[in-house]
Amino acid sequence: MKPKGPYCLGVDIGGTFTDCAIIDPEGEIRTGKVPTTPSDLAQGFFASIEAAAASLGLDAERVLAATAKLAHGTTAGVNALVTGSVARVALLTTKGHADAIRIMNDMGRALGASIEEQLDWSISSRPEPIVPREQVFEISERIDSGGDVVVGLSEADVEAALDRFAEKGIEAVAIAYLWSFANPAHEIRTREIVQRRFPELYVSCGFEVAPRISSYPRTTATVMNAQIGPLMRAYIDRIAEGARRRGYGGPLLLAQCDGGLLPAEAAREFPIGTLQSGPVGGIAGAAKASASLDDEDVIVADMGGTTFDVGAISGGVLRRRNESVVERHLTHLRKVEIESVGAGGGSVAWLDRESGALRVGPHSAGADPGPICYGRGGTQVTVTDADLVLGVLNAERPLAGGLRLDLEAARKAVAELGREIGLDALRCAAGIVEIVDRRMEDLLRRVTIQSGRDPRRFSLWAYGGASAAHVGLFASGLGVKRVLVPLNETASVWSACGCALLDQQRRYEASAFLKTPFDLDEMQAQLAQLERQALGYVETLGLARGEFELERSADLKYALQVFEVETPLPSGPIDRDWEERLVAAFERAYSDRFGPGTGYAAAGVTLTALRVVVRSTGESPALRRPPAEARSASGAAGARPVFWKEYDDSLETPIFHGPELGARERIAGPAIVEYPSTTVAVRPGQSLSVHPAGHLVLDLEEGA
């Protein structure tokens, strides 16, 4: 078969499965899903491409040779931080501030702590310092808030620190001086000294990684970037080289947690931006796809094998935050707002010996060994095992990669767990599913109701390998206007598809401290500098006018407040009329976010940051429905017993072959709809229909 390229290709590596989506110029999607290979993530990366290429009747080499865009979302960096498999880092910081990362702005016990830990001080604790004290080196230097040098850099202090690197086994260096974002001269000179003596060391500078005010989160971001730098540099190089060997001639693009793509060369220097990039690819892809349905208010729910990720799209716009908590440390890491809990198909069910209660998650069986039913040596009951015992999953239908499920092993393990709490296997499995679904529903309520969003205004997009089997339960109490499984089978690999749909973008920002009335000359000078940097980057990409756009925004707040609201900058010349329009836009954004009447205009407005984002345009095709298989018969393809908690009993349930469903066809629950890599559970009292665009629409009340 001849390739129909140029293709856009996205690969997302998750904790359990690695997914690939191939999009041709007409927007047709082909997918591949294989088990993640933790020992060598690159192996699963290329295996997923091979699986997707096979659906086109091609091999990976022919597809990659016809690919114009290869985008990748990865968990490699965050997995290294979670497991502690990171480089040994030396932190060079301003003299007198070596303990700032231990003090943590006095937030250590609360940051990232569970609700139980926050309510019970006796079981809470501060996290371990991000860098051990003996690896922190104080350097005499001082720059003030205006960027003026107060104390010159002591190169002797730097050399003395370097003299101790060998005994400390240092593998990477983080340089984070006070006020370096106002004047980076000392950090730049320190980097030169380090690289002269140790050219092999990975060096991360605060003024590049996080050019924002507030020393603690800037330092943690710089350190984390250095910790995962050597690993990610080698990982990215391995993927890029493997793609080249297989015929790909373009740049490898890495998905970023702020919702864009960076070329591999830039991502190697700022790997911290890849944290949570897979889930961000999913929500950013949903924002693009939902726009074609005139659906601007969307809640996304991504249930994979390890986590359940939820985000919101309001008015077609993704909301971002400038600070994130990573491994219980506050960091300057700008990312799309996504909340996560450890709830997925691989989440482990366990008995809390103190309370006697059945719990599910947050720990996961992962891809290796995985759930018991995978037959790979897993010994802990998981949500996937429970779904199989209930009959929702088909024991006769292999999972991705030809993985066959062992029903008897799962049933035996669930029955054994059930005996400990006085339940038979079916009711224990139903309990496991209900517990994990209620945890997911709680997260959805946090992102909607507790964040001031009325769920009745929103559609819920459910994707990820496990979402379609569970959404009928975890969405049932929210009151959303509709539930949609995007592009049926594609929902299983939606984050990979989203990565392929992302645009290249890079952000340039500067801290500021301007009060109304603003110093417009200073603002104009800062914006001009940011735009020069952005246009310089455009030149390196070789983009012509019309192939990119600049997006300008600012962070503003009412005076004496702590948290800012990002506000787009108005067009036109920067004058007092422009300032009035900016303040009015901020007040509208503030009101939308926190509710009418919550602002306090009398306090005045403070601008804390300016931002210019350069974004490529016209790289991604519009999606269209995958081609349907020829329909061999109408109606159900068969039936099997499925336990439904609504009946507290098993019921012979019709099973439908998803690819054979026609547009606008409607199925009343209870029913199971099976696709090659996802299963849709239509619960009693619910119904499923096929949207003309190919999406599955689940009505939570039959006849709705």
Structurally, how many domains does the chain consist of? 4
Contacts of 571 (CB under 8 A, 6+ apart): none
Q: Is 264 helix (H, G, I), strand (E, B) or coil?
A: helix
Structure tokens at 619: 């790289």
Q: How confident is the model at residue 1 (pLDDT cuts 50, 70, 90)?
A: low
CA nearest to 139, candidates 194, 85, 97: 97
Residues 32 and 119 in one domain: no
Q: How confident is the model at residue 295 (pLDDT cuts 50, 70, 90)?
A: confident
Residues 110 and 164 in one domain: yes
Dihedral over Cα of 470, 474, 475, 477: its sign: positive
Residues 517 and 606 in one domain: yes
Quick one: pLDDT at residue 634?
56
**% the chain with pLDDT above 90:** 58
590 pLDDT above the threshold of 50: yes
Total residues belonging to the chain: 704
Residues 522 and 603 in one domain: yes
Question: Do the Cβ atoms of 35 and 367 come closer than 8 Å?
Answer: yes
Q: What are phi and psi of 418, to 5 degrees?
A: -65, -35
Q: pLDDT tens, 215-254? A: 999 999 999 999 999 999 999 999 999 999 999 999 999 9
334 pLDDT above the threshold of 80: yes
12 pLDDT above the threshold of 60: yes
Beta partners for residue 202, in sequence order: 172
Task: Give the CATH number for residue 29.
Answer: 3.30.420.40
Residue 473 is assigned to a structural domain of this protein: no
Calpha distance 430→182 (Å, rounded): 58
Calpha distance 25→318 (Å, rounded): 26
Q: How confident is the model at residue 315 (pLDDT cuts 50, 70, 90)?
A: confident
Q: Where would I find the H helices in 558-636? A: 576-594
Calpha distance 305→378 (Å, rounded): 14
Residues 106 and 209 in one domain: yes
Residue 177 is assigned to a structural domain of this protein: yes
Quick one: pLDDT at residue 2?
67
Residues 125 and 45 in one domain: no
User: pTM for the full model?
Assistant: 0.87
Residue 414 is assigned to a structural domain of this protein: yes
578 Cα distance to chain centroid: 35
Q: pLDDT tens, 533-585? A: 999 999 888 888 888 999 999 999 999 888 889 999 999 999 999 999 999 99
CA nearest to 623, candidates 160, 224, 285: 285
Strand-pair category, 324-326 with 329-331: antiparallel
Residues 511 and 608 in one domain: yes
Residues 241 and 206 in one domain: no
Quick one: pLDDT at residue 415?
95
Q: How confident is the model at residue 606 (pLDDT cuts 50, 70, 90)?
A: very high
Q: pLDDT tens, 70-119? A: 999 988 888 888 778 899 999 999 999 998 888 888 777 777 776 677 77
Mean pLDDT across 209-213: 90
630 pLDDT above the threshold of 60: no
401 or 433, higher pLDDT: 433
Beta partners for residue 185, in sequence order: none
Residue 417 is assigned to a structural domain of this protein: yes
Output the average pLDDT for the chain.
89
625 pLDDT above the threshold of 60: no
Angle of CA points 540, 544, 549, to nearest 5°: 90
380 pLDDT above the threshold of 60: yes
**% the chain with pLDDT above 70:** 96
385 pLDDT above the threshold of 90: yes
| Domain range enclosing 388 | 347-436
Is the N-terminal amide bond of 129 cis, ω within 30° of 0? Answer: no
Other C-beta atoms lying within 10 Å of the C-beta of residue 126? 15
CA nearest to 688, candidates 645, 646, 636: 636
Residue 493 is assigned to a structural domain of this protein: no
Quick one: pLDDT at residue 631?
46
Calpha distance 51→59 (Å, rounded): 8
Question: Do the Cβ atoms of 240 and 263 come closer than 8 Å?
Answer: no
Residues 523 and 579 in one domain: yes
Question: Do the Cβ atoms of 140 and 175 come closer than 8 Å?
Answer: no
Mean pLDDT across 152-157: 96
704 pLDDT above the threshold of 50: no
402 pLDDT above the threshold of 80: no
Q: How confident is the model at residue 703 (pLDDT cuts 50, 70, 90)?
A: very low
Residue 647 is assigned to a structural domain of this protein: no
Question: Pick from 591, 616, 641: which residue ends a domain?
Answer: 616
Rg (CA), the chain: 26
629 pLDDT above the threshold of 70: no
Question: Pick from 589, 616, 643: which residue ends a domain?
Answer: 616
Dihedral over Cα of 59, 60, 63, 65: its sign: negative
208 pLDDT above the threshold of 60: yes
Residues 530 and 576 in one domain: yes
Quick one: pLDDT at residue 401?
65
Structure tokens at 531: 């735009």
Quick one: pLDDT at residue 702?
53
Consecutive H or E run containing 124: none
Residues 210 and 238 in one domain: no
Residues 113 and 206 in one domain: yes
Q: pLDDT tens, 32-57? A: 998 888 888 999 999 999 999 998 99
Residue 695 is assigned to a structural domain of this protein: no
Residue 358 is assigned to a structural domain of this protein: yes
Question: Pick from 436, 465, 480: which residue ends a domain?
Answer: 436
238 or 4, higher pLDDT: 238
Quick one: pLDDT at residue 663?
67
Structure tokens at 326: 């990573």
How far the first Cα of the chain sits from its last, in Å, is: 44
Quick one: pLDDT at residue 619?
65
Mean pLDDT across 579-592: 92
